[in-house]
């Protein structure tokens, strides 16, 4: 098929995903699963094969750029944007939410540019890297978990009068983080070995867990706190320098590249590792790096599927597409690179436009009503896609997700839902642990 037509499918996918990404907690993988399942019915709109692959690549690119909008303006993040919420909402409460969204988009655009620039090296570097790393995935993931837990910093003060009291204050947040990680890990085991989500929608198995862990707690927090959003300023320029952008994109490239290559590690976790490695202290730098990290994580991970001779599937989109399509030639890979460049550019400008639309909405409608509508939408979404069983999972996940909100620990500890069961399975003890828990 003509390359220009394939690029058109990618741009159409990006445009659709840009709109869907603004729906709180609606992950693009859930929509993509439905698109692939309905492939026969949609063949007249999106033909199977390369058109479908480019359409889904455009969807991933659009989502990686636009999922910033609900995380900043409606406080409904997913696993890749959970870290953006706190600095982004700090900007929002200072009337600078548009700048936060633009900074995230700028970082994402820089990350996509880096992916395009380094793409000629992929077919020679990644097969070697895969051969070196594959035997060591288990202990590498265990090391990532250890770093996540050890880097949780005490947030209590020193106002207690006794050493024991100060110790308790210091460990309040740390203990909450460990508890969150452990409980989410148990939830992950339950979903992996004995899920209550109907088998006919098994590809949506993690949807209710992620909605409960990451999205609903923030919305509940908005309702309880009765947040009043100040008037937002639409900036004509950003307070950044080229060197700051380069540093942010470099950090995001490190984190997103790590997350794209290693299974289970998400863009948020990769961004955390890169932030510590590059000693970030500036909110602008942090937001830029998180934007780059999630773009490289989603798009770079999917692009690995197209690399000639690699045969690597990373991320939900690659796994789903691999059931119906396999890239065959280097020409497809280079078409995919061009599709990322085109879809990323379109998505960035759509981000600026939709951020203005979100600001217009929150300036006209009380934020509590928006939060209430968001909560109803999340519940309806979970029920529509996963049924009553999904609602039970979301309820349990919400209880876990509220722990970081109440005690001020990292929301990233909720990623135990994936890290714990998969790491233990890689170590060869997952089934034994599940058996001890009575799950099998």
| pTM score of the predicted model | 0.81
Given a cut of 70, the residues of the chain with pLDDT beneath it are 1, 25, 38-44, 75-86, 155-160, 199-203, 226-227, 267, 275-281, 311
Please report, for the chain, the start and end positions of each structural domain, with discontinuous segments joined by +.
Answer: 3-436
pLDDT tens digits, residue range 79-99? Answer: 555 555 567 777 888 888 899
Rounded CA-CA distance 8/309 in Å is 26
- pLDDT (0 to 100) of residue 22: 80
Rounded CA-CA distance 101/97 in Å is 6
pLDDT tens digits, residue range 111-167? Answer: 999 988 888 887 778 788 888 887 888 888 888 888 888 877 776 656 667 778 777
DSSP string, 192-204: HHS--S-GGGGGG
- pLDDT (0 to 100) of residue 173: 78
Phi-psi region of 333 (alpha: psi -120 to 50; beta: other; left: phi over 0): alpha
| Cβ atoms within 10 Å of 386's Cβ, excluding its own | 27
Task: Tell me the two tokens of residue 337.
Answer: 């690179």
- pLDDT (0 to 100) of residue 341: 93
Pure H helices in 226-329: 242-261, 267-277, 283-295, 301-303, 316-321
Angle between helix 50-66 and 97-118 (nearest 10): 140
- pLDDT (0 to 100) of residue 62: 92
Rounded CA-CA distance 360/354 in Å is 10
């Amino acid at each position: 098929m003509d390359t220009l037509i394939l690029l058109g499918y990618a741009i159409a996918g990006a445009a659709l995903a840009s709109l869907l990404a603004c729906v709180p907690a609606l992950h693009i993988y859930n929509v993509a699963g439905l698109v692939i399942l309905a492939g026969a019915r949609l063949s007249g709109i999106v033909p199977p094969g390369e058109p479908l692959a480019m359409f889904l690549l455009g969807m991933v690119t659009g989502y990686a750029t636009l999922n910033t909008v609900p995380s900043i303006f409606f406080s409904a993040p997913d696993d890749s944007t959970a870290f953006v919420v706190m600095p982004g909402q700090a900007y929002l409460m200072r009337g600078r939410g548009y700048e936060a969204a633009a900074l995230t988009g700028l970082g994402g655009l820089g990350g996509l540019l880096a992916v395009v620039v380094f793409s000629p090296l992929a077919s020679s570097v990644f097969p070697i890297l895969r051969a070196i790393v594959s035997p060591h995935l288990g202990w590498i993931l265990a090391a990532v978990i250890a770093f996540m837990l050890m880097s949780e910093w005490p947030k209590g003060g020193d106002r207690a009068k006794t050493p024991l009291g100060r110790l308790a204050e210091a460990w309040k947040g740390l203990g909450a983080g460990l508890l969150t990680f452990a409980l989410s890990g148990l939830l992950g085991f339950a979903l992996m070995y004995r899920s209550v989500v109907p088998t006919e929608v098994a590809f949506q198995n993690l949807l209710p867990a992620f909605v409960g862990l990451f999205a609903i707690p923030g919305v509940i927090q908005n309702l309880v706190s009765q947040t009043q959003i100040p008037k937002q300023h639409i900036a004509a320029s950003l307070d950044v320098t080229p060197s700051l952008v380069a540093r942010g994109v470099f950090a995001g490239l490190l984190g997103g590249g790590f997350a794209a290559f290693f299974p289970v590690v998400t863009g948020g976790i990769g961004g955390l590792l890169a932030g510590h490695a590059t000693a970030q202290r500036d909110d602008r730098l942090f937001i830029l790096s998180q934007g780059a990290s999630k773009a490289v994580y989603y798009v770079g991970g999917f692009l690995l599927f197209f690399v000639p001779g690699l045969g690597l599937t990373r991320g939900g989109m690659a796994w789903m597409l691999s059931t119906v399509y396999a890239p065959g030639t280097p020409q497809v890979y280079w078409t995919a690179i061009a599709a990322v460049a085109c879809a990323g550019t379109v998505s960035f400008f759509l981000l600026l436009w939709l951020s203005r639309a979100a600001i217009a909405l929150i300036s006209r409608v009380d934020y509590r009503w928006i939060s209430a509508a968001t909560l109803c939408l999340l519940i309806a979404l979970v029920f529509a896609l996963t049924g009553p069983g999904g609602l039970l999972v979301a309820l349990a996940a919400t209880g876990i997700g509220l722990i970081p909100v109440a005690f001020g620990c990292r929301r990233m500890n909720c990623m135990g839902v994936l890290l714990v069961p998969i790491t233990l399975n890689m170590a060869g003890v997952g089934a034994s642990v599940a058996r001890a828990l009575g799950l099998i």
